[in-house]
Amino acid sequence: MKNKAEKILFLLLLTCSSCSSIYRFSVDVQEPALITIPVSAQNVLILNNTVTQPKNYGIERIFNGQTIPSDYPLTLDSTVWAAIEEISAVFDESNFFNSVAFYREPVRADTEWFTVSELSPELQSEFYDAEDFDALLVIERLMFSINEKIKTIKTGSFTSEPTASVELKVEGIITCSMYYYEKEKPLITFSISDSLFIKSTVINDSLILLSRVPEIALDILSRNLGYRAANRFIPSWETSERLLFTNFNPRMQEATSYAADSQWAIAESIWIAEFAKKTKPTDKAKIAFNLAITNEMRDNFEQALEWAKKAKEYFKNANQDKYQDEIEFSDKYISELERRIQNNHLLDLQWGKE
């Protein structure tokens, strides 16, 4: 029995030694900003060029089946300032601009709340010269649609605190323009929409139901819109998954250990030596894929793309049907590398590296 068990264990070890496993890890990839502005646009002034929408426009509020009278209006004046504060905070934290400020008074004095009004060249010059600003981010319009339904809840007890159910849906849209001191017309004008839904039970207090709850929702949505608007100008970071092929070969394990410790140059030298020794297409394919990852981690994107294409070809030469999953995965990685190469050209432009 002992000899038989030892033979089975030996066969299992032999089988496992020829197996291939995968080491997965995460990598942070910088994505270019959705909007590219001149790199010299470093000192930004944010302006409120909106006109507050009428208090009852787009607002529907029902209390126990009855329309809430207009003498309970919502305060909408502060919403644009909440959005501007959020934009300013995001710009400050990003370190993408040298300085950021906002003008604390509305620019417009008319009542055409639905229209977008471009800044005159004379007004632009005033703001550019104020503190040597070279870019103006202008909030052109901020509008909301509000639907609130309130229903009191009968508790059946005199000792219980009266409550009410609230269903509140707020939809908003913000329109922004970015001006640059060398151009009279905006570089870009864009709009972003978002919504917020609240369903809750609260104290049956008219101040909370008719003012506090909807105004908190408006503030949150305004800041969300400001956050999204600001991030259109700032490169972001996304987490992606990468993998390495490894097995029980001591050198392959050693290279993977160095890679796991971010010592990519040492891992690369080991994999290059192993690649030269191997003769089987599958072995070469997996090492070539590892070398692609290694070069990507060292920002050698063109070399990474070459190795990824070699990996795909070796998988195809080994057995196109058997390694179809690996071929498709290699294809996706090749596309990702091509996208990263394009994005890096744009990132260099946005960061002023070219």
Does residue 7 sit within a domain?
A: no
DSSP class of residue 66?
A: E
Q: Is residue 239 part of a domain?
A: no
Please check whether residues 298 and 177 belong to one and the same domain: no
Which pLDDT score is estimated for 203?
84
How many domains is the chain built from? 2
With a cut of 70, list the residues of the chain below it in pLDDT: 1-20, 70-72, 155-160, 354
Domain boundary (234, 253, 286) is at 234
CATH of the domain at 339: 1.25.40.10
Residue 98 sits in the same domain as residue 205: yes
Q: What is the pLDDT of residue 8?
A: 34
Residue 59 β-bridge partners: 146
Nearest to 86 by CA among 231, 292, 273: 231
Please check whether residue 123 lies inside any domain of the structure.
yes
Tell me, what's the pLDDT at 305?
97
Residues 132 and 171 in one domain: yes
Domain that residue 323 falls in: 244-351
Q: What is the overall mean pLDDT for the chain?
A: 90
Shared domain for 212 and 298, answered yes or no, is no
Q: What b/e sequence results for 64-91 when a residue is b if at least 16 CB atoms lie within 10 Å of its CB, and e otherwise? A: eeeebeeeeebebeebbbbbbbbbbebb
Based on the fold, state whether residues 288 and 346 are members of the same structural domain: yes
Do 51 and 192 lie in one domain? The reply is yes
pLDDT in tens, 234-255: 999 999 999 999 988 999 999 9
Residues 272 and 155 in one domain: no
pLDDT at 353: 84
230 within a domain of the structure (yes/no):
yes
193 and 332 share one domain: no
Last residue of a domain, one of 196, 214, 234: 234
Full-model pTM: 0.85
**CATH of residue 125:** 3.30.160
* 13 belongs to a structural domain: no
Amino acid sitting at position 339? R
**Domain-embedded: residue 336:** yes
Residues 80 and 186 in one domain: yes
**Residues 121 and 221 placed together within one structural domain of the fold:** yes
Closest CA to 47 of 78, 97, 84: 84
Q: Does residue 27 form part of some domain?
A: no
Indicate whether 20 belongs to any domain. Answer: no
Distances (CA, A) of 332 to 316, 325, 329, 336, 339: 15, 11, 5, 6, 11
Per-residue pLDDT tens over the stretch 72-83? 678 888 999 999
| β-bridge partners, 139 | 48, 176
Angstrom distance (rounded) from CA 241 to CA 225: 30
Instruction: Identify whether residues 128 and 65 lie together within a single domain.
Output: yes
Are 157 and 249 contained in the same domain? no
Among the candidates 181, 203, 234, a domain finishes at: 234
pLDDT of residue 252: 94
